[in-house]
Amino acid sequence: MLRFGPDTGPVVLIALPLLEEANRTRALVITVLRMLAGHGIGGALPDLPGTGESLLPTSEMTLEGLRSAFAAAALSLGSRPVHVASIRSGSLIDVQAKAAGRWRLAPQSGPGLLRDLHRVQRVSELGDTKADALVFAGNRLAPALIEALDQPPAATPGPLREVAIQSGQPDPVIEGPALWRRSEPGNDAAFAERIADDIARWIASCDA
């Protein structure tokens, strides 16, 4: 787990989006965490089972495992106020974490994630209908994960702020590029600064 900022006061634990969108947004999230440190706010970015540097293969990743690990990461931060921030499908992961507040950027539902994967590449089975994994956009995913993603969204406890990146939506807007849509990883310092400022204001309102 990468750590940023002071060891005291509030801390933000960030959930990256799943699969390829994690690679495309990781640099942005690290920039946001460094900017939050400038606000006096700690930050943490965990590698969850089946993601990042985790030794668990992506094909064995489960939604429940991701949620449990993220909740455990929040508990590992101690007694200081923990706030959760998520990007896109990261909002599917944060629901079990004990948090003083939740902040979400362009949250994506499980069915929405599956639709995106279908658009990128048609699903193909490895072997017969009882195959251990399916191929979604180049990622070997367990059928149990796919089934879990297709379920209704889990309830979100506690204070919640959801932010969009384009106008015309009911959520507040932080203008910025949809880096998760690009073919290669990217970053945008001005976008990161707007995100960090909004998260800092949200934390202040939750902790008031």
pLDDT in tens, 107-123: 999 989 888 877 765 54
Query: Comparing C-alpha atoms, which of 148, 135, 134, 144 is closest to residue 92?
Result: 148
pTM of the model: 0.88
The answer to whether residue 5 scores a pLDDT higher than 80 is yes
Partners of 141 in the β-ladder: 134
pLDDT in tens, 33-47: 999 999 999 999 999
DSSP line for 87-112: EGGGGGTGGGS--SEEEEES---HHH
For residue 128, what pLDDT is reported? 40
Q: What does residue 20 show for φ and ψ, rounded to 5 degrees?
A: -65, -30
Sign of the torsion formed by the C-alpha atoms of 90, 91, 92 and 98: positive
pLDDT in tens, 158-178: 899 999 987 666 678 898 999
Domains and CATH numbers, the chain: 2-109+155-207 (3.40.50.1820)
Choice among 7-11, 24-28, 136-140 with the minimum mean pLDDT: 136-140
Here the tokens at position 50 are 């089946």
Please give the average per-residue pLDDT across 5-30, as a whole number. 94
Here the tokens at position 198 are 């909004």
3-state secondary structure of 114: helix
Q: Identify residue 91 by its one-letter amino acid code.
A: S
pLDDT in tens, 130-163: 445 567 666 788 888 888 988 888 888 889 999 9
Residue 174: is it exposed, middle or buried by C-beta count within 10 angstroms (0-12/13-18/19+)? middle
